[in-house]
Amino acid sequence: MPLHPEIARILAAMPAPPPGPLDPVALRAADETQVAPPEERLPLHAVEDTTARTASGEVPVRIYTPAEADAYGLLVYFHGGAFFLGSLETHDHVARSLAKETGLKVVSVGYRLAPEAAFPAGLDDCHAVVRWAAGENAGLAWDGTTLAVAGDSSGGNFAAAVAAKAHDDGFDRITHQILYYPSLDLDFDADRHASLRENAVGYGLETAGLKPFNAFYLDSGADPADPLVSPVKRADLTGLPPALVVTGQYDPMRDEGELYGERLRAAGVEATVSRYEGAGHGFVQHFSWIPEYHKVFEETRDFLGRR
């Protein structure tokens, strides 16, 4: 299937990026201009900004409650953005759709970003918020059943790393990991995965851009050989939570996500790998208004409901 025509039309109209080094402050500001005003956002029973007081420090979180209830299953969501972009605002619409479709209370994490916060600050924030969410002091009325972690792109990296870190620490309450086109291999040798060559140019995210976009994270102390930085490099995947791995046909990072799903299954972990045809990287964040891609939230609901 060719690139979806709506995605192709929008990509063709996008201006070329400015020359010179990447400016994280300017790129973040540009991202924020794309955020919908509050009155145009998907309505939910309640949306609350608060602070999670955790072992990692005070972490901003936004809590989405889809309906009134005495207790809730929880989904902790980590936004994408190459570890230096993204915020509670830029991914608000993703968290709202997750809450609406799954019926879970969603906790979106405003973790610290590179380069201002060196590795492993962001990962530590995400891990600590999951533990906080499951505790009584959080006041989230967790019902003790579903405790899912989810993320897109670099947020998918954090979701996989948090699931592994929690397992190693003996914290066995995470029930699912949901990875949307995850960035799982931060070794950007173009010969490492076929999709890095096949989808190198013309689909939005380009292979040549992966290294400079992730340089803020890597230069802050994140070693690509570390399985907490590149989760696909983890040697032993046994005992990890069941996974839903969503990829895009035209994403340069497609193959590392699908490889991770295959390795999970080989280790005896229930794993569903779902490739969305006609899509490139970032389609959950940028193109979930297209009906074919909004179905990712329905697939997430069904995956969570199977257990």
Q: Which residues participate in catalysis according to the annotation?
A: 153, 251, 281
Q: Kindly list the strands in the beta sheet with 271-276, ordered across the sheet, starting from the edge strand earlier in the chain.
A: 46-54, 57-65, 105-109, 72-78, 142-152, 176-180, 243-248, 271-276
